[in-house]
Structure 1
Amino acid sequence: MAREITHEATGPLKLDESDLDEEKGDVAVCLCGLSGEYPFCDGSHRATDDEAAETVYKYDGDDADGERREIEEIVFADE
């Protein structure tokens, strides 16, 4: 499975001890691109559990609450 993700960040996020979850004692960084608390994980990745391995997906609204669409082809423009 693959996912097309659009990010609007213009620089890095620096994590420090204030980012630790007091209850769990860890920091979970989102790798699926769907978190409403990006760059931190909020569990939105659970919406991807049934994605097919050979399909590329785009979630409308860039979050797990949006509609999931299958991408047929990604075409890159020449610069």
Structure 2
Amino acid sequence: MSRLVELEETGPLKLDESDLNAKKGNVAICQCGLAETFPFCDGTHRTTRSETDDVCYHYPDDEADSRREVDHVVYKEPDSDTGQ
């Protein structure tokens, strides 16, 4: 299984002591890409438990509790004049 994750940030997030969970003494980093508190884990990864191997998924932001299978991704060819 895999996921298409759309990220908008263009720089790093620096962590300091205030990011640590006072009760647990740690910080959990999101690895599924779905957390509303990204880059911190909020437990949203639980929605991925029923994902199937060899299937790519997309979780649209505008639809609550939705998951779509991705058939294929099409990349735009670069413009021959601009290279973009």
Give the structure-1-normalised TM-score: 0.91
Equivalent pairs: percent with the same residue? Answer: 49
Per-residue CA shift, 1:24-54, capped at 9, x if unaligned? 1111011111101111000000000010011
**Post-superposition shift, 1:78?**
1.8
The number of residues matched between the two structures is 78
Q: 1:62 & 1:10 partners in 2: Cα distance? A: 22
- The residue that corresponds to 1:68 in the other structure is 67
Cα distance change of structure 1 residues 62 and 2 upon mapping to structure 2, 3 Å threshold: farther
Q: 1:44 & 1:62 partners in 2: Cα distance? A: 16
What are the residue-to-residue correspondences of 1:1-79 with 2, within 5 Å?
A: 1-61=1-61, 65-79=64-78
- Structure 2 portions without partners, runs of 5+: 79-84
Q: 2:65 & 2:76 partners in 1: Cα distance? A: 27
Q: Structure 1 segments of 4 or more deviating over 3 A?
A: none
Give the structure-2-normalised TM-score: 0.86
CA RMSD in angstroms, aligned pairs only: 1.6
- Structure 1 portions without partners, runs of 5+: none
Q: 1:78 & 1:31 partners in 2: Cα distance? A: 30
Greater gyration radius: 2
Higher helix share goes to which structure?
1
